[in-house]
Amino acid sequence: MNTPRIFSNLVVKLRCPPRERGFTLAEMVIVIAVLGVIATIAANIIKGGFDAYYTGRDINQTDWQGRVAMERITRELHDVRDRASLGSLTPSTQLSFTDIYGTAITYQLGSGATATTLLRNAQPLADNIAASGVTFSYYQSNGNTVAATSATVYTITLDLTVTTPISPGSNTTYATHYRSTVRPRSF
């Protein structure tokens, strides 16, 4: 039995598929190189933003410490018992006195490992104090003449300088100076 051939006149041509579109290796390498340059630039910009944030945070924290220390010292200087309770009157980095409650109080800049720490009765009050960044001075009632004896002291002036490193590993610092003049209530 012979089966009819239905497709006998049909010619089938094999066609090669058209060349598929794609990237060459050279194009890929160029794109990767350009993206690398863009990523490096973006990373430096982001790093600058983080550095600015951390520097601002450190300056703010140092400012806060300086302000808190100044507030505490000036508040306690208002309560000096009497002129006789003051220690040495030479301008120095140390102040000792007795307050109206009978408590002996000493402020001084630390030494050795704590050389940048302001101490109150040997306890840390503020960090990042500049070398010679604390000075207590004593003035007579005119505000200009330095008091020679405790009997002539009218006001006590505190100068405080706190510093913050601008960037890690750098010797560049940001310094903030505070000054307060206090007339104790009992004077």
What confidence tier does 168 reach under pLDDT thresholds 50, 70, 90? low
More confident residue, 6 or 103: 103
Contact 129, 109 (CB under 8 A): yes
What's the pLDDT tens digit per position in 13-67?
A: 666 666 667 889 999 999 999 999 999 999 999 999 998 898 889 889 889 999 9
Cα torsion 105, 110, 114, 117 to 10°: value is 70
Which neighbouring-strand residues pair with 106? 96
Task: Indicate the SS3 state at residue 138.
Answer: strand
Strands 123-126, 118-120: pairing is: antiparallel
Question: Domain-by-domain residue ranges, the chain?
Answer: 25-182
Contact 94, 107 (CB under 8 A): yes
Contact 147, 137 (CB under 8 A): no
* ∠ Cα 55 49 58 (to 5°): 15
